[in-house]
Amino acid sequence: MADAPYLVALALVELNGKRLLPLNGKSRKPLETTEADAATDPGEEGRALALELLLRLWQRSDEGPIQRAAGEDSLLLLEIPLELISERLPLLKANWIGGADTASLQAELRQLALRGWRVSIAKYEPVTFSAWS
């Protein structure tokens, strides 16, 4: 496992019919093995990153309608080794924005991620994180 994991919130969306893949992230201290096995929720760090990303998307809605591009898998929170963030993520993002298959992007993100969560909300319920595998 990586020494310096990075927590990344990302959204697969379309704005006026054009794909966007905004992301937001921060470094995270490594979890102990026992903690990592028990970690089913990314905690306040994850909630804060998702909120910031959603607020940025909301601001962009002035430019036109925003639509999810991958259904329930459109808002994700991933823990990725820091060394892969600058190495692989920009290429994946550029390829997807350029028209690459969504399923291929998701498969590659799953390979990069140490763990991942789908972010969702239901009426009258708090934000929930469910395992994304």
Closest CA to 1 of 84, 121, 69: 84
Residue type, 121: I
Give the pLDDT score at 53. 96
Over the stretch 90-129, which tens digit does the pLDDT of each residue have?
A: 999 999 999 999 999 999 999 999 999 999 988 998 888 9
Query: Contact, 57 vs 22, CB < 8 A?
Result: yes
Over the stretch 6-39, which tens digit does the pLDDT of each residue have?
A: 999 999 999 999 999 999 999 887 655 445 544 6
Q: Output the pTM of the full model.
A: 0.87
- DSSP 3-state of 127: coil
Which whole number is the average pLDDT over 47-75? Answer: 95
